[in-house]
Amino acid sequence: MSDTTITGELTAHRVVGQDFWSIATVQTKDIGSISATGKLLGAELGDTIELEGFWDTHKTFGKQFKVRECKVLLPRSDNGVIAWLAGRLKHVGKARAEEMLAHFGGAEALWSVIENTPERLTEVKGITPARVDEISEAYARFSFDRDRIIRFKRWGMTDNQIAKVVARWGDEAEDRLIANPYQLADLVDGFGFIKSDAIAQRMGVPKDAVPRIQCGLMHTMRQAAGHGHCYVSSGKLVTMAADKVLRIDGALVAKELAIMKKSGELVQHGKRTFLRVLNHYEQICADRIRALLEQRSERETA
């Protein structure tokens, strides 16, 4: 199924759920109004958006454009600018947006003023210094969201992944990723070590970074648990993590394993290493079996 690219103005937009999945109407120049569904991260009413995806026919709602990727563009047409200003700014309606365009001589000139000399906006009747601040803040927010998404995509993140990260961390998302992208594996649904590591490597995180080694160890333990193992011998764990997952010197892995055991992230019994949660439940099982045996002994000696 080949992808198609469509550009148009977002005229209706309803977000369903917490990760920006939307039902939208887009007005295009070539094919008119279309129905689109998918994650329209950062898009608001009046925005010019570029959608990449494919056509599908829903059994109830008919023909729809299924969005794989959405880019929010700064509108360059007069109508697009009017829609952007009126849609994002509660004190700038269509009439005042038209006045701004006419005063500064079109879309390109108006964007230049907003970006470089916003104080000139007061030349338009009704635009007060407070309104200038509101317009500047809206433009800065738009630029921040757009540029942040571009950076995320340079790190190899899909729209779906970006939506989950932003839904989880909001404006802190980029700082959290820069500080430690391996947080994704534990804190954001749908990520594990493999996906987190791919993003981290695109970000330039060294292969011997401590967060990478620790996340790789947890991944190795969870894989073993998924295959039915309650524990892994410490020597085998180091070998598996170093050779198959992290592909680094085993001595570095052994050092971090010792630190994780000391902090309680992993639990050591003899030569066996347990995930903390599995160790907890094993202890509960052992306690209950002991209690049953004690009850049986008491009945037999009564």
At which of 73, 97, 123 does a domain end? Answer: 73
Q: Are residues 268 and 237 in the same domain?
A: yes
pLDDT above 70 coverage of the chain, percent:
99
**H-helix or E-strand spanning residue 267:** strand 266-269
Residue 292 confidence (pLDDT)? 82
In-domain check, residue 66: yes
CATH of the domain at 21: 2.40.50.140
Q: Are residues 236 and 267 in the same domain?
A: yes
Mean pLDDT of the chain: 90
In-domain check, residue 266: yes
Strands across the sheet containing 231-233: 231-233, 272-275, 266-269
Count of other CB atoms within 10 angstroms of residue 77: 13
Q: Are residues 230 and 246 in the same domain?
A: yes
Token pair listed for 280: 């907890």
Residue 190 confidence (pLDDT)? 87
Residue 287 confidence (pLDDT)? 78
pLDDT above 90 coverage of the chain, percent:
59
Count of other CB atoms within 10 angstroms of residue 142: 17
Q: Are residues 41 and 67 in the same domain?
A: yes
Helix/strand number for the chain, H first, E second: 12, 8
In-domain check, residue 222: yes
Q: Are residues 123 and 177 in the same domain?
A: no
**Residues 44-90: tens digit of each pLDDT:** 877 889 999 999 998 888 899 999 989 888 888 888 888 888 888 87
At which of 73, 102, 126 does a domain end? Answer: 73
Residue 160 confidence (pLDDT)? 86
C-alpha radius of gyration, the chain, whole number: 28
In-domain check, residue 194: yes
Cα 192–chain centre separation: 13
In-domain check, residue 275: yes
Distance CA 268, CA 179 (A): 29
CATH of the domain at 239: 1.10.10
Residues 196, 199, 204, CA angle at the centre, nearest 5°? 120
**Residues 132-189: tens digit of each pLDDT:** 999 999 999 888 888 898 899 989 998 889 989 998 999 899 999 999 999 999 999 8
Structurally, the chain folds into a number of domains equal to 4
Q: Are residues 66 and 11 in the same domain?
A: yes
Say yes or no to pLDDT of 131 above 70. yes
Q: Are residues 192 and 169 in the same domain?
A: yes
Q: Are residues 65 and 88 in the same domain?
A: no
Helix axes 78-88, 129-154, angle to 10 degrees: 100
Token pair listed for 130: 């407070």
Report whether 13 contacts 41 (CB < 8 A).
no
Distance CA 56, CA 65 (A): 6
Distance CA 48, CA 40 (A): 12
**Residues 1-15: tens digit of each pLDDT:** 678 999 998 888 888
In-domain check, residue 300: no
In-domain check, residue 21: yes
Residue 1 confidence (pLDDT)? 60
Q: Are residues 134 and 161 in the same domain?
A: no
Say yes or no to pLDDT of 209 above 80. yes
Containing structural domain, residue 57: 4-73
Residue 88 confidence (pLDDT)? 82
Is the pTM above the cut of 0.75? no
Q: Are residues 260 and 216 in the same domain?
A: yes
3-state class (DSSP) for residue 124: coil
Residue 65 confidence (pLDDT)? 95
Q: Are residues 191 and 170 in the same domain?
A: yes
Contacts of 127 (CB under 8 A, 6+ apart): 96, 100, 121, 135
Q: SS3 letters for 42-71?
A: CCCCCCEEEEEEEEEEECCCEEEEEEEEEE
Exposure string (b/e) for 152-186, b if CB count within 10 Å is 16 or more? beebebebbbbbbbbbbbeeebbebbeebbbbbbe
Helices in 180-269 by DSSP H: which ranges?
Answer: 184-187, 193-203, 210-226, 234-240, 250-263
Q: Are residues 82 and 69 in the same domain?
A: no
In-domain check, residue 119: yes
